Amino acid sequence: MSIEAIAYSVPALTQSADDIAAATGADPGFVAEKVGLRSRHILAAGQTGISLAVDACRRLMQANPDLQPNDVDLLVCVTQNPDRRIPHNAPGIAHELGLPASVASFDISLGCSGYVYGLEIVQGFLERAGLKHGILVTCDPYSRIMAKEDKDTNCIFGDAATATWIKAEPGRSETLATDFGTDGSGGDAIEVPASGAARPLVSLLEDSQVASHDRESLRLHMRGRAVFNFVMSRVPTSIDACLRKAGCQLADIDWFALHQGSIYMLDALARRADIPSDKLLKNMDRYGNTVSSTIPLLLAELDERGELAGRTLLLSGFGVGLSWASAVVRFRP
C-alpha cells in the first residue's frame, strides 16, 4: 500500500488574528502568539463541506493524470460535521466527482486523529476487498458549529479539505508501524451536546425533553485544559510505542507531522517527547487548527517544497473522543 499524492483546498474567505480577537474579545497577541493563529480560512455563504472536499479531489486528479474518476474504487471521508445528519458526505462527493456506481464510499466520524485512522482503514479495505485505488478525504468545517464569541473554539479552528490518493501496490511510500488508543472517559472535553440520540431535536416519545434546544447546546464546546492534559499524558507514549514498533529512534525521523492543536500545545508536546524543534512541522499560523486536515496539509506543503521524497516521517493526531493515532511512514526517493 502506498500514499501516492495529496491535494488540498481552502475557502477563499479569510480572517486575521485581529478579526478573531475583535469577535471574541481575546487579546490579538494571545491569538497570534500563544494559539499561533495569524490567519485562517472559513467556509463562505453558499459553500459546504462537500463542495470544498470535491475541489480538493479535483485538484488531486488534475495533478495526477493516472488517477481519474473511473479509476477510483473507494472514497472515505473523515468528518464529524457533515453537510446533513443523514446522508453521509462521501456519496455526495462521489456523485459530484462522477465516480462509478461501483465505488465504495462512507464517512468516518473522527476528528483530529482521523487522518491516521483513515489511512489504515483505506489500506485495509483495499487489501481485503481486492481494490486498487482509494481516496481519503478530510473535511471538518468547524466554522459552521462555532459561536462567534467563544474564545475556547473561535480562537483556534479553521476550515480546509484534503484528498489523499492511496494505491494498493508498492509505490511512493510504506507504513512501517502504527499505534492507536482511546480514552472515552474524557469524551466530553470536546463536544456538541445536543442533536444526537441522547438529546434529540425530534423524538417519538411524547414525554421526552425535546422541546427547544438553545444555541448553547447546539454549538461546539471545548475544555482546553482537559484536552491539553490528555495530550501531554497520552501522545508521548504513543509516539514512543510507534517508534519501537517501527524499529526506529527519534534520530531516524526526518520530519514530525503532529496535529496542529495550537502552537503552545505543539511546542509543549515536542518538549515532552524530546522532538527536535528543527524537525517539527508547523503551519498553524496560516490555517489554524483544521481538525482532521492538519496532518495531510503538512504533508502536502512538504511535498510542494520537494522535501517529502526520501524522508521518514512520524505522524500523530489526537483529539475528539478522546482518541489518538500515530504512524511512521517512509517515502521512497
pLDDT for the residue numbered 202: 81
SS3 (DSSP) at 285: helix
Query: What is the per-residue pLDDT for 217?
Result: 87
- Mapping DSSP to helix (H, G, I), strand (E, B) and coil, where does residue 14 land? strand
Q: Looking at 153-286, which runs of residues are DSSP E strands? A: 161-167, 173-182, 190-191, 221-222, 255-258
Distances (CA, A) of 226 to 75, 222, 302: 34, 9, 31
- Report the pLDDT value the prediction gives residue 244, as an integer from 0 to 100: 97
Q: 19-76: per-residue pLDDT in tens?
A: 999 999 999 999 999 999 999 999 999 999 999 999 999 999 999 999 999 999 999 9
Residues in the chain predicted with pLDDT less than 70, given as ranges, are 206-212
Q: DSSP assignment of 138-159, as one string?
A: EE--GGGT--TT-HHHHTTB--
Q: State residue 253's pLDDT score.
A: 98
Assigned C-alpha cell, 262? 495550537
pLDDT of residue 147: 94
C-alpha cell at position 237: 507514549
Spatial separation of the C-alpha atoms in residues 290 and 111, rounded to whole Å: 9
The per-residue DSSP string of 103-138 comes to -EEEEE---TTHHHHHHHHHHHHHHHHT--EEEEEE
Residue 203 has a pLDDT of 80
Residue 200's pLDDT is 83
User: What is the structure's pLDDT at 204?
Assistant: 80
pTM of the model: 0.94
